[in-house]
């Protein structure tokens, strides 16, 4: 169970908005893995991160920061503490003795398509139903988001066929309340459009056990010899909705870190996407210790926020594991005063949650769930530096990095990144905050 994290009094979700030209949203990964730009942000020794709790400082919501602040930080904020670099320079920015912590969760092809069946087993001649698996529950059922939700009711049976992949519209449709922000663009193929539903046997069958808000459903799948092998056959990589294209074969490799191991995420821990085996070797050659945790990315990371104030935010729980060797490495690093560098906000959340629940400050290996929400006003217990991608406006992840370095400084750095045409979000460039 996560100890509650105190959010800065009076802050609103809208206080974390910023202007981003659509052309800066990366639609493809860089040609070569690791060939990304990196904005290095320095936190001053007299870090004033809590100044961000004063509503009204920084950029006004919805205003183009380049128009509001020119090339410098907003009036009254901290002076800029950043410089432009490349990810290839990361090893040189780490110190011998640092402990670098990675999230080794593996993305599953969690975006699948179904048709609804009558209770008598007859298929309905309707369009495809999009299903995004989000996490299994303790009983072995799956939580999921479905669209269109009005077609998927309690007690319905869904069938998943090998040809049930459908087609995708490359222009984004209007958002609906159901699962808005979680789904990629999709046209619902109808039989009269020439899309053949086919007569093959379904590879998966599921019953709808529970129904929630915003397209949330609980599905019980019929037993199969190898569920994940079927997903590999019929599933799509769950690219985020701002990537306005169909997933490609190359995404199976590029939307996965080179150190991915434990399957379970429905979105990539994107800060880890930059690493290559040679970069990891260079980091180790510098005398940096590397350890791994596992946090399976789910709704707690990417679900849109539907409240106005930060103190109203409650994230979905996500599963994590702190291995014994990582707990030992973290305890040694803390005892010896060495820097702990987290790769990605998922790693930050895992480490900070574990530090919160640790008895007498000693981390113990375990598996659990966390719904920790980190925002300005939070006091970090274990993370000293982080590598992270650029995050969506008004997102919980932007609030986390703002807690770490100060809202003013982060929004000013984002303004600089926009002016310098950095590439944003999952397949985009990164930021190293030290």
Q: Among 390, 419, 412, which Cα is nearest to 79's?
A: 412
Reading the block at residue 335, the tokens are: 């005892």
Report pLDDT for 50.
37
- List C-alpha distances in Å: 111 to 134, 178, 182, 329: 9, 16, 11, 36
Contact predicate 149/178, CB 8 Å: yes
Reading the block at residue 270, the tokens are: 């994107």
Q: Give the 3-state DSSP-derived string for 186-209, with helices as H, strands as E and coil as C.
A: CCCCCHHHCCCCCCCCCCEEEEEE
In the predicted model, residues of the chain with pLDDT beneath 70 are 1-9, 45-80, 118-126, 163-199
The set of residues, in sequence order, having a beta carbon less than 8 Å from that of 305 and lying 6+ positions away, is 13, 313, 394, 395, 396
> What's the maximum distance between 2 C-alpha atoms anywhere in the chain?
69
Reading the block at residue 288, the tokens are: 């940096």
- List C-alpha distances in Å: 9 to 5, 55, 325, 399: 12, 9, 38, 14
Report pLDDT for 359.
87
CATH top-level class of 13-106+252-433: alpha beta
Rounded CA separation 161/147 (Å): 17
Per DSSP, the residues of 253-311 read HHTS-TT--EEEESS--GGGGG--HHHHHHHHHTT-EEEEEEE---HHHHSPP--SBGG
Q: Is the peptide bond before 405 cis (omega within 30 degrees of 0)?
A: no
Contact predicate 4/358, CB 8 Å: no
Rounded CA separation 370/40 (Å): 29
Report pLDDT for 341.
98
Question: Which strands make up the sheet holding 99-103, listed edge to edge?
Answer: 82-86, 37-41, 430-433, 385-389, 340-343, 99-103, 289-295, 318-322, 366-370
Which pTM does this prediction carry?
0.84
Report pLDDT for 317.
94
State the CATH architecture for 110-236: Beta Barrel (2.40)
User: How many C-beta atoms lie closer than 10 Å to residue 25's C-beta?
Assistant: 19
| Domain ranges (residues) in the chain | 13-106+252-433, 110-236
Summarize pLDDT for 115-146 with one digit per residue, the tens. Answer: 988 655 555 555 789 999 999 998 999 999 99
Tell me what percent of the chain is helix, strand and coil, each rounded to the nearest 5: 25, 25, 50
Angle, nearest 10°, between helix axes 407-419 and 396-405?
110
Q: Where are the alpha helices (DSSP H) in 17-166?
A: 65-69, 90-93
Q: Among 347, 116, 142, 111, which Cα is nearest to 241's?
A: 111
Contact predicate 91/283, CB 8 Å: yes
Q: Among 113, 201, 195, 210, which Cα is nearest to 156's?
A: 210
């Amino acid at each position: 169970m996560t100890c509650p994290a105190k959010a800065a009094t009076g802050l609103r979700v809208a206080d974390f908005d910023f202007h981003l030209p659509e052309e800066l949203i990366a639609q493809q990964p860089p040609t070569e893995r690791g060939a990304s730009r990196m904005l290095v942000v320095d936190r001053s020794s007299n870090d004033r991160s809590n100044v961000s709790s004063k509503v009204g400082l920084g950029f006004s919501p919805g205003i183009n920061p380049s128009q509001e602040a020119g090339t410098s930080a907003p009036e009254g904020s901290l002076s800029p503490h950043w410089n432009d670099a490349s990810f290839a320079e990361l090893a040189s920015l780490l110190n011998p003795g640092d402990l670098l912590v990675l999230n080794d969760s593996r993305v599953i092809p969690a975006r699948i398509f179904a048709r609804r069946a009558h209770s008598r087993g007859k298929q309905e001649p309707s369009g495809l139903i999009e299903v995004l698996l989000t996490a299994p529950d303790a009983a072995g059922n799956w939580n999921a988001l479905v669209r269109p939700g009005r077609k998927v009711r309690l007690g319905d049976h869904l069938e998943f066929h090998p040809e049930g992949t459908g087609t995708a519209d490359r222009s984004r449709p209007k958002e609906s309340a159901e699962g808005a922000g979680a789904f990629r663009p999709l046209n619902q193929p109808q039989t009269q459009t020439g899309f053949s539903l086919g007569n093959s046997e379904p590879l998966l069958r599921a019953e709808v056990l529970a129904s929630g808000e915003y397209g949330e459903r609980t599905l019980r799948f019929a037993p199969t010899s190898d569920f994940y092998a079927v997903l590999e056959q019929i599933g799509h990589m769950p690219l985020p909705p701002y990537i306005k294209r169909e997933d490609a074969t190359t995404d199976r490799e590029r939307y996965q870190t080179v150190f991915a191991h434990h399957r379970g995420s429905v979105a990539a821990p994107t800060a880890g996407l930059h690493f290559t085996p040679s970069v990891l070797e260079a980091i180790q050659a510098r005398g940096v210790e590397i350890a791994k945790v596992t946090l399976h990315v789910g709704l707690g990371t990417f679900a849109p926020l539907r409240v106005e104030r930060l103190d109203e935010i409650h994230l979905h729980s996500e599963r994590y594991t702190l291995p014994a060797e990582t707990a030992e490495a973290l305890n040694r690093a803390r005892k010896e005063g060495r820097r702990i560098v987290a790769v990605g906000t998922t790693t930050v959340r895992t480490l900070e949650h574990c530090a919160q629940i640790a008895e007498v400050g000693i981390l113990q290996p375990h598996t659990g769930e966390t719904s920790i929400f980190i925002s300005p006003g939070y006091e970090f217990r274990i993370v000293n530096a982080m590598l992270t991608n650029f995050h969506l406006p008004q997102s919980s992840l932007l609030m986390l990095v703002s807690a770490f370095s100060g809202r003013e400084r982060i929004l000013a750095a984002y303004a600089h990144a926009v002016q310098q045409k950095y590439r944003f979000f999952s397949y985009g460039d990164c930021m190293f905050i030290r």
